[in-house]
Structure 1
Amino acid sequence: MAGMGSSKRDITPAQERYCQERAKGATQRRAYLSAFPSSERWKPATVDNRAYELEKRREVSARLKELQKAAAAAAVVTRAEIVGAQAMLLRKGVAAVEAHSLADKDLAPAVKALADASDRLMAWLPEDEPEERPAFVRDFALLMGPRFLAPHRMIADGYRGDIWLAGGRGSCKSSFCSLEVVNHIERNPDQHAVVLMKRKADLRDAAYAQVVWAIRALGLEDQYDMPESTLRITKKATGQKIIFRGCDNANKIKSIKVPFGYVGCVWFEEADQFRGMAEVRKVTQSLTRGGESCVRLYSFNPPRSARCWVNAEMERREAEGLPVFRSTYLDVPPEWLGGQFIADAEELKRTDERAYRHEYLGEPVGIGTEVFDNVVFRAITDEEIAQFERLRFGQDFGWYPDPWAVTGSEWRPGRRELLTFCEDGANKLPPDEQAERVKALLTWSDGEGREPEYHHLPVLSDDADPTAIAVQRDHGANARAAGKGKPGRMASYRFLQCLAAWVIDPVRCPMLAAEVRALEYAQSPDGEVLNEIPDGNDHWVDATRYATMDEARRARGYRKAE
């Protein structure tokens, strides 16, 4: 048989069958199924991975090249010639159609015979030798901010280890990390990447969308499978994976398996949401097991509290000369961000410099563990309340031991101030009685000498109990779901934290005042301050968050702009 050589003695009969089928032009999957019939029961992805691994073996690869070379030498007709003949037939067919001679008895048999012969021959001919594809190259200076050229060069020069990247909104740190993840896959065909966020629910709209953007920005979208449903991106030619995983339970990260090679790149997006370095180490120890080296990227907006673990870790690394990079929107070409983004930043700088420094410059402006350092406790007078025009009411549902809680506030957008002036709450209060208490809270006189009347204002409510909302509406209260899933608990907390002032009347709102005074950031067992607000003793705070949920949603950038 043509092409028999010494390499055939180095492979099994099944491997020889595989090589023969591939030399005829079969795909990797089809050749593997033919050579190993038992694989018919496997998943297609498993077959593809096994075929890829088989073809990587030196002796199989050598035999396949030997067969393809022999087939090419023996061919008397090239693939290009067949394509040319088919093109000629197409032209003849078009001419026949134009001449209305489709029934031409002389033309039809010849066309069919030549088409059948060319199809059979095409199946045996090897693919035309493709042009040598150059190594993946892209001018990253066109895609990443100037601040990130230094870490990019570090990685390109072979650095493997941890790189920490802190910055405010619009600093493009997430864009940089996503580009490096894709670049790593392109340059290391035997390695995979894992992208992590603390909460799985955040992955699809944040880290996954960012990596898809990077693939498209690099002009590689036709080379990757990017199904949103699986949260896994696959490079078609190699089978490499970019795996996205939430760390709601860090102990489960050890279950990540890759089809070959090892994980060579890990990206912790919103690293500040993790529960301290102990949890981060638990994750990295599981992911990088068995690999020769790994580059790990940590991106985050510095939390408000200077004592938060991630801020302390950054300071320690900087002091020890470890790779740490800080960036802000001021380091980014303005046209990347748009005029509105710049205008919003400058307006906040003018009206509340402290909030601007935290949100846009990434500075930890808080000094301790307190959640709210912008609260002013003072009396709110009846005269002030009479002038209120933008009232906001919200409620948090509870039974026992958690109470039902409701608050009322005035929103002053020009000053970025919130004034909370009334509250109510109780345990074991059914929804119909809650509705009566809500109506009582919203009943007042609109002027001297006028009778008090109920004001049918919206009361944005905890989504967790739609039945209670429905019952309250049946009893005359204008209860509505707050839509608390967007922008989310932490984002709405940040809205309250970044106000120029949150004024609370401690006499009119004693329960809210007590909660706000007691709220502190959580701490790990090691004493690290976490960027995490304990859930539990914050019912009146939650009611106020729901009341201002529309404002939090409209506030630009509360979903971190990267």
Structure 2
Amino acid sequence: MSEVSLQQTIGKGYVDFWRFRGRYRVVKGGRGSKKSVTAALWHIYHMMKMPKANTLVIRKTFNAHKDSTFAQLKWATHRLGVAHLWQFKKSPLEATYKPTGQKIMFRGLDDPMSITSITVDTGYLCWAWFEEAYQVLNEDDFDKIDMSIRGELPEGYFKQLTLTFNPWNERHWLKQRFFDVSNPNILALTTTFKSNEFLGDDDRELFEWMRKHKPKRYRVEGEGNWGIAEGAIFENWCEEEFEWRDIAKLPGYKAIFGLDFGYTNDPSAFIAALVNKDLKKIYIFDEHYEGALTNDKIAEIIKKKSYAKEKIVADSSEPKSIDEIRGYGINRIRAAEKGPDSVINGIQYLQQYEIIVHKFRCPNVSMELSSYVWDQDKTGRFLNRPIDDFNHAMDALRYAMEQIRKGSGVSFD
């Protein structure tokens, strides 16, 4: 097997990552820092080098693999010139190294039985890769996987868990467990887009725009630093796994839907929730969070989710978009009633509620709730206004709650 040049194939900045053999290899990094593609290249290369090793790839939700880790690992085989030696199947979702039968298996924490019952036909389960590990808010979920990578291995083999993520919130258990300690079994790295020599000029211009216009987001996505959780706007929230259809049948619950339009550099955000005004509870059970969406695509997504007949309250600063989406068959969409203090009033109203976010269906809502903070002046004093970031799903929720705050609502009946 020919040697792969790290310099030519992967580029700079990941020598320690490539050579480390300890139990935990943890990489927080900004967008475009090569952390995920480097992890994909490492696993393909080393499985071919070590014919008894198998890999488990984990995401919070199983469905997220197809367009992320599965595609990245498939890309890695082409990058290394070995695609003809690998078979990638979508049912079941797995990759097989043809000469030996070694497998890369894909699982989601939303199906715990599929993880605890893992067996391999050839060799040993040596490695696990957690992509977007920040989305795993419960440390116990990680521990269950950690404990499943066990047993004696042949000489020269080693067990290792790789975690890659954007560091949205400094209060996350990942920081305390892997970055605030000194342990020879842990390699904790921070990487940025500056170590990615394969980026184009347009990519670098986007980071420069972010640095000037979204400094708090740039701190995380550009510099790979931990997001600051001090001054959190919403503290009374949690993640749970629940069946929203059962909650919808309970007395007092109303269904609400909100939509915030994205721009060139921001995502559009759609949320669906169930609200009980008397109990002061909000169950957020569905989301869509994506950039560069045209209005016809937004309408298509709403239809696909079967919400086309529901009342949807959308950002009133985009009346043309609302009219266009209505023209695509989303007939009950309407503009939010904005005013000079609508953001603060909406936040203050939401703060009266306990917010429960679906553990597996709404990762971006959880990310925003973790990162949405009050703005500060130059002395660090908090101001009575939120930062203009991490607020797309939050704005969608404010719009949706208008119909509760003003005494009306819709249900699934």
Instruction: State yes or no: 1:515 paired with 2:342.
Output: no
Identity %, equivalent residues: 21
Q: Is the 8 A contact 1:506 1:513 kept in 2?
A: no
| Cα distance in structure 2, aligned partners of 1:469 and 1:372 | 27
Contiguous gaps of at least 5 residues in structure 1:
1-134, 374-397, 419-424, 429-458, 483-502, 525-529, 535-539, 549-562
Instruction: State yes or no: 1:478 paired with 2:342.
Output: no
| Cα distance in structure 1, aligned partners of 2:170 and 2:312 | 45
Distance 1:360 1:290, change over 3 A: same
- 2:388 corresponding residue in structure 1: none
- 1:141 corresponding residue in structure 2: 7
Q: Is the 8 A contact 1:272 1:531 kept in 2?
A: no
Secondary structure of 2:106's counterpart equals strand
| Cα distance in structure 2, aligned partners of 1:202 and 1:409 | 22
| Cα distance in structure 2, aligned partners of 1:352 and 1:471 | 28
Indicate the RMSD between aligned Cα atoms, in angstroms. Answer: 4.4
Q: Is the 8 A contact 1:357 1:365 kept in 2?
A: yes
Within 5 Å, which residues of 2 pair with 1:93-132? Answer: none
Deviation of 1:284 (Å): 1.9
| Cα distance in structure 1, aligned partners of 2:66 and 2:77 | 15
| Cα distance in structure 1, aligned partners of 2:259 and 2:368 | 23
| Cα distance in structure 2, aligned partners of 1:511 and 1:480 | 29
Stretch moving more, 503-512 or 339-348? 503-512
| Cα distance in structure 2, aligned partners of 1:412 and 1:340 | 17
| Cα distance in structure 2, aligned partners of 1:244 and 1:520 | 31
Distance 1:413 1:176, change over 3 A: closer
Select which of 351, 359, 362 maps to 2:224.
Answer: 362
Aligned length: 313
Select which of 80, 93, 98 maps to 1:218.
Answer: 80
- 1:263 corresponding residue in structure 2: 125
Instruction: Compare the two structures and name the one with the higher strand fraction.
Output: 2
The code of the aligned residue for 1:144 comes to: I
Select which of 136, 148, 155 maps to 1:286.
Answer: 148
Distance 1:410 1:366, change over 3 A: same
Deviation of 1:369 (Å): 7.8
| Cα distance in structure 1, aligned partners of 2:93 and 2:345 | 46
Distance 1:406 1:512, change over 3 A: farther
- 2:49 corresponding residue in structure 1: 187
TM-score (norm 2): 0.63
- 1:203-239 deviations in whole A, cap 9, x for unaligned? 0100010101111111001111122332211111111
- 2:164 corresponding residue in structure 1: 299
The code of the aligned residue for 1:140 comes to: L
Select which of 281, 300, 323 maps to 2:187.
Answer: 323
Distance 1:504 1:143, change over 3 A: farther
- 1:468 corresponding residue in structure 2: 309
Instruction: State yes or no: 1:310 paired with 2:174.
Output: yes
Secondary structure of 2:89's counterpart equals coil
Deviation of 1:299 (Å): 0.6
Instruction: State yes or no: 1:273 paired with 2:135.
Output: yes
- 1:355-385 deviations in whole A, cap 9, x for unaligned? 2112221222323483669xxxxxxxxxxxx
Q: Taking CA–CA contacts closer than 8 Å with sequence separation of 6 or more, which of the two structures ends up with the larger relative contact order?
A: 2
Select which of 358, 374, 396 maps to 1:545.
Answer: 396
Instruction: Compare the two structures and name the one with the higher helix fraction.
Output: 1
Computing the radius of gyration over CA atoms, which structure comes out larger, 1 or 2?
1
The code of the aligned residue for 2:253 comes to: D
Secondary structure of 2:26's counterpart equals strand
Stretch moving more, 208-217 or 311-320? 311-320
- 1:477-530 deviations in whole A, cap 9, x for unaligned? 938689xxxxxxxxxxxxxxxxxxxx98556884554226767898x9xxxxx9
Q: Is the 8 A contact 2:57 2:130 kept in 1?
A: yes
